[in-house]
Amino acid sequence: MEEKRNKKYFFSVEGETEFLYFQHLQKLIQAVDTRTVNPVFRIEKCPPGKITKKVWIVSPCIISAVFDVEDDDEPHRIRFENTLKEMNASEKLGKSIKFELGYSNIDFELWIILHKKDLFGNIGNKVQYLKNINQIFGTKFEALREYKVERNFLQILSKITLDDVKAAIERAEKITSQRMSEGAPIKTYGYEWFDKNPALSVQNVIKKILVECGV
């Protein structure tokens, strides 16, 4: 059997759930015999400005920054925009680094839910995601912090297949089409995003990986 070459992917992520999710995605892709390359994920739980100092880079690379908008109040918006500012500044450090934004509005839980269910309606608070999570994954979490506990989140991931990932991409693309029909995205420091939820671009990051890996 012909040995497959490795292809590296770099991620700057916000929290443990994102970190565990991309570990799971790597395993799903590596389990496909017909894949054309082996994905090797380098996932760092740190802001974009810090990953450029932690990752030893000898050739041009793309870093996927996976971050949440969280809420539409001013403090969260400023925090998110500061992350985009940091990404833009880090691209100018002379390390041949380019960032691509994989955001979720409101939260990464939106992306997780899309693996099993459409979610087009606007929500007022990320706590409202919990009902959907319990419904589609057969869990009984009483709070999002319980869902985010590693052993509990791994239970969720065990129910997500590669076909679910592809279905989530399709659902996310429908949401983007819905947002685009309402108006153009905001452009902040060169990165595009929608301030109305639901909205996300993390699907673009993952779709590109699947295509490049031939799955």
Most confident by average pLDDT, 4-8, 11-15, 111-115: 111-115
The residues, ordered by sequence, that sit 6+ positions from 185 with a Cβ below 8 Å of its Cβ are 179, 192, 193, 194
Regarding pTM above 0.75, the answer is yes
Q: What does the alpha-carbon distance between residue 105 and residue 67 come to, in Å, rounded to a whole number?
A: 9
What local confidence, expressed as pLDDT, does residue 214 receive? Answer: 96
With a cut of 80, say whether residue 112 has pLDDT above it: yes
- DSSP-derived 3-state class of residue 99: strand
Q: What does the alpha-carbon distance between residue 22 and residue 199 come to, in Å, rounded to a whole number?
A: 20
What local confidence, expressed as pLDDT, does residue 95 receive? Answer: 64
Pair 22, 64: CB distance under 8 Å: no
Q: Average pLDDT, stretch 127-146?
A: 96
What local confidence, expressed as pLDDT, does residue 124 receive? Answer: 87
Mean pLDDT of the chain: 93
Q: What does the alpha-carbon distance between residue 63 and residue 102 come to, in Å, rounded to a whole number?
A: 10
Q: What does the alpha-carbon distance between residue 61 and residue 56 come to, in Å, rounded to a whole number?
A: 11
Domain boundaries, the chain: 6-212
What local confidence, expressed as pLDDT, does residue 55 receive? Answer: 65
What local confidence, expressed as pLDDT, does residue 57 receive? Answer: 59
- As to burial, measured by CB atoms within 10 angstroms (0-12 exposed, 13-18 middle, 19+ buried), residue 7 is middle
For the segment 165-207, what is each residue's pLDDT rounded down to a tens digit?
999 999 999 999 999 999 999 999 999 999 999 999 999 999 9
Question: Which residue bears the tokens 């109305």?
Answer: 196
**CA count, 13 A, side-chain hemisphere, 204:** 16
